[in-house]
């Protein structure tokens, strides 16, 4: 996630005379990723100062840096500048008003802490220009002074806050009541942007006595929206379980600035600071007065985290002898409290790093980062490099890929998730696929059971860039459930498309698959006539080993290829790699080169459409006995000269004797015997000329 940081706002917390370019250069060397710096036009500049906005990428483990003060603290540590924090008056412990506010947490595991207070006499209107302009520079739209102040403090401290219109709540005895609970079955909420959601029972909501008024940690509800008519508000500053927020956000496809922070894990410690800051600003800019005591519901208090740290760990982990005094200064500048105890130190982790820092390795990382990775000296290994351990399965995967790449194919990687639309393009129904409970979008709604639709989609996207597409993918498919989780199988699938491609593409792909199997040591396979929803009848075959079907090869039906804007022939194969692994063999049989010359004859035949090439090949080899060295397929053809229901094959038979030079007359005798066998047993017609 990225955050936009206005330069002049940043300087209030980290005063420095360095230019924006120099700041960017210095901090980028120490782990803060400034992706770009944008200069703001003069019309948008306040008080005549040049303004710049830093676009900073923040890693998911550092939600504290999704704030101005968090970034300023990092930059101050890097530049050795002192962090200047806003002066905040303490939260009043008692008020003159006798008004009450009640807060109840029914799910303490999902909401560890909740602070709230009631303010009266609030005057809702536009925000001061300074606040509004800063929000706009940081990428937020100004709404009104109340909402803008909660957003302003969120940008300052990284802690989301929210304000409710107290008079729009359902109350008993005119006492506003906030209840943090799970949603009820069938309960609905309309959010501030007028979206209505049906809630599930595991979702956390903020509610009044009757119904939800906010999706906890995500977005406020329309029911308690602060408007120009609002006179009393309840200010909320709370902490929520990150997993609960993330789950609800994904299920509802509703991501906000608040949810982006909560789902990364914010600490319930020190909520008083941003809460007090918002109270102070609300009283200054909305004329609101605190009319109830501040309520802090904190069922199970969190204790600050402490870590034992041995300074020798710096050298052990970094190989760099950073002075201990410098290491302590770095940690203190980042907000850590350092207490020396004999040969070790006890480090108190600041609240904003509660979930991020687990042990001394994390402390060493922080020291190295601020010290400067660029200052660490490079050093060659003085130990033996450990050998890479590769499993047999991994080696066979690599071997398979190498063979296909050698045949001119390109490997592709596609998502395991597919859409209902993509399935329909291939004639499949979504009900056969496992559905994702919380998909990122409709394009990733189901787990795939077939790799071919994904390959067809890749071919569609690349068809205009090439005259020919040859691609393959080795990946997992997801079948029915095996106990709780889906049953996974590795499959190897390929696709071959060529503009103005002919039916010979099928036989060429068949050769590719057979070459692949030969390279993997699989020889005991047979092709059988197959049927499939995706491929044309008569243009497909199944791969069988020991009576078990382990894959198929076929021409995709034009009905489906047209859905992907592929007008010419598309041939695909799909192999069950998981099962094929059992038949792979690295054993090779070597034979000497032949001593005697070969004799070959070409043969053109017409056979029934349903007769497979494998039957023809087998019949020729059985009839020719030991003299037939190989049968080579040359071409298949159909056309006006071939009767309907028939197909033509052009092949070459190579004869050779391992004991002597074979005479042409001897080969002709065997050749004629083969022709007779083809005619009588397969109904073959021999084409002359």
Determine the 3-state secondary structure of 315 from DSSP: helix
pLDDT at 4 over 90: yes
- The residue with greater pLDDT, 226 or 503, is 226
For residue 297, what pLDDT is reported? 96
Got the DSSP string for 480-500? EEETTEEEEEEEEEEEEEETT
pLDDT tens readout for residues 52-91: 999 999 988 999 999 999 999 999 999 999 999 999 999 8
For residue 45, what pLDDT is reported? 55
For residue 48, what pLDDT is reported? 60
pLDDT at 43 over 60: no
For 141-149, the CB contacts below 8 A with 24+ separation are 144/226, 144/228, 145/285, 145/286, 146/122, 146/226, 146/230, 146/233, 146/282, 146/286, 147/226, 149/278, 149/281, 149/282, 149/285, 149/286
Whether 549 and 525 have beta carbons less than 8 Å apart is answered as no
Place of tokens 């391992």: 658
Whether 27 and 76 have beta carbons less than 8 Å apart is answered as no
CA 167 to chain centre: 44
For residue 572, what pLDDT is reported? 94
For residue 46, what pLDDT is reported? 53
Across the chain, mean pLDDT equals 90
Q: What is the pLDDT averaged over residues 32-55?
A: 78
- Pick the closest to residue 83 from 72, 93, 91 (CA basis): 72
Whether 682 and 615 have beta carbons less than 8 Å apart is answered as yes
pLDDT tens readout for residues 493-507: 999 998 876 657 888
For residue 482, what pLDDT is reported? 62
Q: What is the pLDDT averaged over residues 544-557?
A: 90
- The residue with greater pLDDT, 663 or 530, is 663
CA distance 564 to 651: 35
Cα(first)–Cα(last) distance of the chain, in Å? 73
What lies within 8 Å, CB to CB, of 601 at 6+ separation is 652, 653, 655, 667, 668, 671
Q: What is the pLDDT averaged over residues 650-664?
A: 90
pLDDT at 399 over 90: yes
- The residue with greater pLDDT, 213 or 528, is 213
Q: What is the pLDDT averaged over residues 577-602?
A: 88
Q: Can you list the domains of the chain with their CATH numbers?
A: 2-79 (3.30.56.10), 102-297 (3.50.40.10), 306-373 (3.30.56.10), 392-583 (3.30.930.10), 599-686 (3.30.70.380)
- The residue with greater pLDDT, 460 or 440, is 460
Band of the pLDDT at 94, cuts 50, 70, 90?
confident
Q: What is the pLDDT averaged over residues 400-406?
A: 95
For residue 42, what pLDDT is reported? 57
Q: What is the pLDDT averaged over residues 148-170?
A: 96
CA distance 506 to 518: 18
Place of tokens 């959601």: 197
Q: What is the pLDDT averaged over residues 565-571?
A: 89
pLDDT at 571 over 90: yes
pLDDT at 676 over 70: yes
Band of the pLDDT at 593, cuts 50, 70, 90?
confident
Band of the pLDDT at 378, cuts 50, 70, 90?
confident
Q: Which residues pair with 340 in a beta bridge?
A: 345
For 613, the token pair is 């090439």
Q: What is the pLDDT averaged over residues 659-672?
A: 89
For residue 514, what pLDDT is reported? 92
């Amino acid at each position: 996630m990225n955050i936009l940081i206005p330069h002049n706002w940043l300087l209030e917390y980290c005063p420095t005379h360095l230019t924006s370019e120099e700041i960017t250069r210095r901090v980028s060397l120490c782990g803060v990723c400034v992706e770009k710096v944008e200069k703001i036009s003069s019309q948008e500049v306040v008080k005549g100062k040049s303004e710049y906005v830093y676009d900073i990428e923040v890693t998911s483990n550092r939600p504290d840096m999704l704030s101005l003060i968090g970034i300023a603290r990092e930059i101050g540590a890097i530049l050795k500048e002192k962090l200047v924090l806003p002066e905040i008056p303490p939260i009043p412990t008692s008020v003159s008003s006798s008004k009450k506010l009640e807060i109840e947490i029914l799910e303490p595991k999902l909401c560890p802490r909740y602070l709230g207070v009631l303010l009266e006499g609030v005057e809702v209107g536009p925000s001061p220009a300074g606040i509004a302009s800063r929000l706009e520079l940081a990428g937020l739209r100004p709404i009104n002074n109340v909402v803008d102040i909660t957003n302003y403090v969120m940008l300052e401290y990284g802690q989301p806050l929210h304000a409710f219109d107290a008079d729009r709540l359902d109350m008993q005895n005119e006492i506003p009541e906030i209840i943090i609970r799970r949603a009820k079955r069938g309960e609905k909420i309309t959010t501030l942007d007028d979206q209505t959601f049906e809630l599930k029972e595991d979702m956390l909501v903020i509610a009044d006595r009757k119904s939800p008024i906010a999706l906890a940690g995500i977005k406020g509800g329309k029911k308690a929206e602060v408007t120009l008519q609002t006179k009393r508000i309840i200010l909320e500053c709370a902490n929520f379980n990150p997993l609960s927020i993330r789950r609800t956000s994904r299920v509802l496809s509703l991501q906000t600035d608040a949810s982006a922070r909560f789902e990364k894990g914010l600490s319930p410690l020190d909520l008083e600071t941003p809460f007090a800051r918002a109270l102070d600003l609300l009283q200054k800019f909305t004329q609101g007065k605190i009319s109830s005591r501040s309520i802090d519901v904190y069922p199970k208090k969190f204790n600050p985290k402490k870590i034992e740290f041995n300074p020798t760990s710096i050298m052990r982990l970094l190989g760099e002898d950073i002075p201990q005094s410098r290491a302590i200064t770095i940690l203190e500048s980042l907000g850590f409290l350092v207490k020396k105890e004999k040969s070790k130190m006890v480090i108190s982790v600041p609240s904003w790093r509660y979930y991020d820092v687990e042990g001394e390795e994390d402390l060493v990382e922080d020291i190295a980062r601020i010290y400067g990775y660029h200052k660490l000296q490079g050093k060659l290994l003085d130990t033996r490099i450990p050998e890479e351990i590769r499993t047999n399965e991994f080696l066979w995967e690599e071997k398979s890929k190498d063979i296909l790449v050698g045949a001119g194919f390109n490997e592709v990687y596609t998502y395991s998730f597919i859409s209902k639309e993509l399935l329909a393009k291939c004639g499949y129904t979504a009900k056969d696929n496992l559905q994702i409970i919380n998909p990122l979008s409709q394009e990733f709604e189901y787990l795939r059971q077939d790799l071919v639709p994904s390959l067809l989609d890749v071919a569609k996207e690349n068809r205009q860039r090439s005259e020919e597409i040859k691609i393959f993918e080795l990946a997992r498919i997801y079948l029915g459930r095996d106990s709780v989780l889906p049953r996974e199988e590795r499959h190897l699938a390929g696709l071959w498309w060529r503009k103005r491609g002919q039916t010979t593409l099928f036989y060429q792909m068949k050769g590719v698959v057979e070459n692949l199997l030969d390279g993997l040591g699989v020889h005991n396979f047979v092709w059988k006539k197959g049927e499939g929803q995706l491929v044309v009848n008569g243009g497909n075959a199944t791969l069988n080993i020991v009576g078990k079907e382990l894959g198929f090869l076929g021409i995709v039906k034009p009905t489906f290829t047209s859905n992907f804007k592929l007008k010419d022939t598309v041939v695909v194969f799909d192999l069950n790699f998981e099962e094929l692994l059992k038949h792979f063999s690295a054993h090779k049989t070597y034979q000497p080169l032949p001593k005697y010359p070969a004799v070959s004859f070409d043969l053109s035949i017409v056979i029934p459409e349903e007769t497979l090439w494998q039957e023809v090949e087998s019949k020729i080899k059985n009839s020719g006995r030991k003299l037939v060295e190989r049968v080579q397929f040359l071409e298949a053809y159909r056309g006006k000269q071939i009767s309907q229901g028939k197909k033509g094959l052009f092949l070459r038979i190579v004869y050779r004797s391992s004991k002597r030079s074979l005479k042409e007359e001897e080969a002709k005798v065997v050749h004629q015997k083969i022709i007779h066998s083809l005619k009588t047993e397969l109904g073959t017609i021999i084409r002359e000329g």
